[in-house]
Amino acid sequence: SLAIGDAAQQYKAASLLARIQGVLFAATVTPGFEEGFKGASDLLVDRANGETYRSFWRVARARDPQWILITSFNEWHEGSEIEPSVEFGTFYLELTAEEAAAWKAGEPVDDRDGDGVPDAKDYCPDYPGKQETNGC
C-alpha cells in the first residue's frame, strides 16, 4: 500500500533524525480507515483483513521506536476503530496485543519496509518495492 510505503520512508528519516538529535522517536500505526461521513474527502486505506495493521506495525517496529501510537482507538466516524465491534468482534484488540507483545519483546522484523518481501530475499529491504522485482 502506498500509505505503508510512505510510512516506511518517513519513519526511516524520522528515527534517524531523532537518534542524531538525542530525542525519542514515536511511530504510529493504523488498522486502516474510511472517511465515510457526509462531506468526507473519500479517503480510504483498506483494512485488508488485518494485513494493513500488521504491515504498519512491522514498519514501525523496524525503526525501533520508543513509542508506538495507535491511530485510533475508537474513531468510529473515520472507520479506524479497534475496539470491539459488530463488524470485527475483538479481532483488532487481539491483534494489537499480539503486535505490541512482539514489539516489547524485541522480536526481529523480517519485512522492515512492509512490501511483502522478506528481508532475507529483498534486494532493497529499506525501500518498499514490489514482490515481482524482489523488493525494489
User: What is the maximal distance between C-alpha atoms in the chain?
Assistant: 45
Entry pTM: 0.78
Q: Output the pLDDT for position 41.
A: 57
Q: Output the pLDDT for position 118.
A: 79
Cis peptide before 55 (omega within 30 of 0): no
Give the tens place of pLDDT for each residue, 12-44.
Answer: 899 999 999 999 999 999 998 776 555 555 667
Mean confidence (pLDDT) of the chain: 84
Give the tens place of pLDDT for each residue, 64-87.
Answer: 999 999 987 567 777 788 999 898
Question: With bands split at pLDDT 50, 70 and 90, how would you rate the model's confidence at 1?
Answer: low
Kindly give, in sequence order, each residue whose CB lies less than 8 Å from that of residue 30, ignoring residues fewer than 6 positions away: 45, 52, 53, 56, 70, 71, 72, 80
Average pLDDT over residues 106-128: 77
Q: Output the pLDDT for position 8.
A: 86
φ, ψ of residue 113 to 5 degrees: the values are: -95, 0
How many CB atoms sit inside 10 A of residue 40's CB? Answer: 13
Distance CA 25, CA 62 (A): 12
Average pLDDT over residues 5-12: 87
Distance CA 6, CA 14 (A): 12
